[in-house]
Amino acid sequence: MSDDVVRYETRDRIALVTMDRPRYRNAQNSAMTYALDTAFTRAVDDPGVAVIVLAGAGDHFSAGHDIGTPERDADTSFPRRAVPWWDHTGRDGADRRFAREMEVYLGMCRRWRELPKPVVAMVQGACVAGGLMLAWVCDLIVAAEDAFFADPVLRMGIPGVEYFAHPWVLGPRFAREVLFTGERFGARRAYEIGMVNRVVPRDALESATLDLAARVAGMPPFGLALAKRAVNLCEDQMGLRAGMDSVFNLHHLAHAHNAEVSADPLAGFDARAMKRAAE
Ligand code: ZN
């Protein structure tokens, strides 16, 4: 199953992990989340791999979490790996939603942020909501000129995606604009605020990303792991982890409010409605 949605290959000392649901703009269902986790673990366990590159097949990096494709699998149970919480299936209401998102969204993203090998995101086209979370947990981001970024979930009444890194990666002022308007911003703007490392033409995206990854791969592996951990620890000292924990509770207050007033935790927005609203 995992082979269907994520491809794994190696190029010298680089593991190239590719989300492979281009038909759905690489919308992440749980099958993809666990396949990504398996691929990352494989790369970590392979002493021949120094750096991981995360890519999306087709025209878009990722349009976000799967909230409407035929393979949506939110009701499916997978062996849990990210947090020591109970399984969401067979539970109701906020209990169910909290358990699932702790594991599949926040927990998995944090787990990947803490991989001991550097991860480089290679981003083209849409990098939206859950896609933005995925790019943010990567250490470096190379963006094509056609890349665009957005967190539009305030349209659902929700104050940002589950992995709430916004004030740290965007700065508080721009974070407010991105959240309050839900509008897209382009690769150039992302570069100006320091959210991405490189902006390159679309046809140079792969070569520029692999080139950067290869340069990182030449460094001593333990030193790299320590340097990555050093930055992560300092980000956490700057409040990232604690901030994210407190905002996750607000996120779930919003889901619960939506469910209470309309019996729909996404306030009536499916993938199509979100896409329309963003255009
Ligand atoms: Zn949520």
Mean pLDDT of the chain: 95
Report percent pLDDT > 90 for the chain. 90
Task: Report pLDDT digits (tens) over 215-262.
Answer: 999 999 999 999 999 999 999 999 999 999 999 999 999 999 999 998
pLDDT at residue 1, rounded to an integer: 44
Rounded percentage of the chain residues whose pLDDT exceeds 70:
98
Cα 86 to ligand 1 centroid, rounded to whole Å: 17
pLDDT in tens, 144-155: 999 999 999 999
Q: How far is the CA of 106 from the centre of ligand 1 (A)?
A: 9
Ligand 1 midpoint to CA 266 (Å): 8
CA of 161 to the centre of ligand 1 (A): 7
pLDDT recorded at residue 2:
46
Please give the pLDDT value at position 273: 75
Per-chain residues with Cβ under 5 A from ion ligand 1? 101
How many angstroms separate the alpha carbon of residue 9 from the centre of ligand 1? 31
Domains defined along the chain, listed by start: 6-278 (3.90.226.10)
- Burial of 10-47, coded b for 16+ CB within 10 Å and e otherwise, reads eeebbbbbbbbbeebbbbbbbbbbbbbbbbbeebeeee
263 pLDDT above the threshold of 80: no
The pLDDT value given to residue 265: 73
User: For the residues 79-99, what does the mean pLDDT come to?
Assistant: 95
Q: What spacing in Å lies between the alpha carbon of 201 and ligand 1's midpoint?
A: 33
Per-residue model confidence as pLDDT tens digits over 159-179? 999 999 999 999 999 999 999
* Ligand 1 center to 63 CA (angstroms): 15
Q: How far is the CA of 170 from the centre of ligand 1 (A)?
A: 20
Would you state the pLDDT for residue 3? 52
Q: Which residues contact 162 (CB under 8 A, 6 or more apart)?
A: 101, 105, 106, 109, 133, 248, 251
Q: Residue 79 CB: number of other CB atoms within 10 A?
A: 6
- Is the predicted pLDDT of residue 276 greater than 90, yes or no? no
* 254 C-alpha to ligand 1 centroid (Å): 9
What band does 267 get if pLDDT is binned at 50, 70 and 90?
A: confident
